[in-house]
Amino acid sequence: ALAGLGFLGGWSRKRKTATIAACVTATWKWSVVAAASLLLAGHICCASCSQSLAKESNNCTMASQEWNYLELGNIRSTLIRQEDTILFQLIERAQFKRNFAIYQDDAEFLKGTGISGSYVRNLLQETEVIHSKARRYTSPDEKPFTSRSQLPDPVLPPLVVPEEMKYLKSIDVNLNNKIYDLYTSTILPWITKEGDDGQYGSSSVCDIQALQALSKRIHYGTFVAESKFRSQPEEYTRLIKAGDRQGIMDLLTNKEVEEKVVKRVQNKATAYGQEITDETSSVHGPAIPEDKLKLFKVNPETMGKIYREIIIPLTKEVEVDYLLQRA
């Protein structure tokens, strides 16, 4: 309505002002009506939902009828989304230097604080204590870095696990100690600059978020393993009964798919990790020249390397461990 006032060139200033005021008032009134309608709709919806939920038990169902957690297409979609999370977390961590002191047991800056062990480990445990109360570690793909005996019980009611997911719930495969060691000894040197910038708090928070994202992605291998087992039960059962670890590894490995994952991760890292300027971006194309890498927050090839040499092998290790226990 206000845009249309450009046609009122012949009107008096007083008349224009009155017209603008009327338009604003009308717009405000309709905004109030629209907002009230939305609130009413929300109230009706909430009331309806409350009545529906009141008929259910206090327990929560883990899987809905609309989502099949064991369908390979759904698993693939989940893993692709997790790539984004991992890349963004590693990009965040890469802005700080290595800050080796936060991984040292009883580091100098911890004296007088009452904290024993490393700063990152302590902060990670405190974080997992809170998340445990929120039922995080009752999900099959969520594994704590802290011993479960040191974590409190959930405050929320337990999840109701569907029958088809009972193995995922009962079999506990946890590679977090190995993930932590590889993160601090290999991934950090690949993505951060050597040195100490004093950003201990920020670096530690980024570490925790990255570690949790990596752990979730790697332990989602249990879902992959269960799905693959259901697609070839006879072959997997024979290998499991024989204790043929290498045979299971060979059966579940698909090199072509793995290379596609690595390539996709590199392309995403190229898009997400570059410093945006007014020049053309380098989302796709040949290898990035050395002189152009300075425009990137992380090296895209390094992100692909993390997947090829760490994430994918650990995921397959989770799959094999899971299947051997499934027998």
Secondary element (H or E) of residue 61: strand 60-61
Give the lowest-confidence range in 85-99, 202-216, 264-278: 264-278
Instruction: Say how many CA atoms lie within 13 Å of 201 toward its Cβ.
Output: 0
pTM of the model: 0.76
Question: For residue range 250-268, what is the model confidence (pLDDT) as tens digits?
Answer: 999 999 999 999 999 999 9
Please pick, among 93, 136, 217, 268, the residue that the annotation labels catalytic: 217
Residue 26 has pLDDT above 90, yes or no: no
Please pick, among 228, 299, 302, 316, the residue that the annotation labels catalytic: 228
Please pick, among 258, 301, 309, 317, the residue that the annotation labels catalytic: 258
Residue 102 has pLDDT above 80, yes or no: yes
d(CA 84, CA 86): 6
| Residue 315 bears catalytic tag | yes
Which amino acid does the sequence have at 227?
S
Mean of per-residue pLDDT scores for the chain: 82
| Residue 61 bears catalytic tag | no
3-state secondary structure of 318: helix
Which residue, among 322, 126, 97, has the nearest Cα to 191 in the 3D structure? 97
Q: Is 298 left (phi over 0), alpha (psi -120 to 50) or beta?
A: beta
Predicted local distance difference test score (pLDDT) of residue 290: 58
What's the mean pLDDT in 6-20?
45
Question: What's the alpha-carbon Rg for the chain, to the nearest Å?
Answer: 27
| Residue 66 bears catalytic tag | no
β 60-61/159-160 pair status: parallel
Predicted local distance difference test score (pLDDT) of residue 118: 97
| Residue 76 bears catalytic tag | yes
Question: For residue range 147-175, what is the model confidence (pLDDT) as tens digits?
Answer: 999 999 999 998 887 888 888 989 999 99
Predicted local distance difference test score (pLDDT) of residue 287: 54
Please pick, among 16, 254, 259, 263, the residue that the annotation labels catalytic: 254
Please pick, among 76, 81, 166, 230, the residue that the annotation labels catalytic: 76
d(CA 58, CA 22): 53
d(CA 100, CA 102): 6
d(CA 164, CA 184): 37
| Residue 25 bears catalytic tag | no
Residue 30 has pLDDT above 90, yes or no: no
| Residue 258 bears catalytic tag | yes
Predicted local distance difference test score (pLDDT) of residue 62: 53
Every domain of the chain and the residues it spans: 72-272+290-325
d(CA 261, CA 269): 12
Fold of the 72-272+290-325 domain: Chorismate Mutase, subunit A (1.10.590)
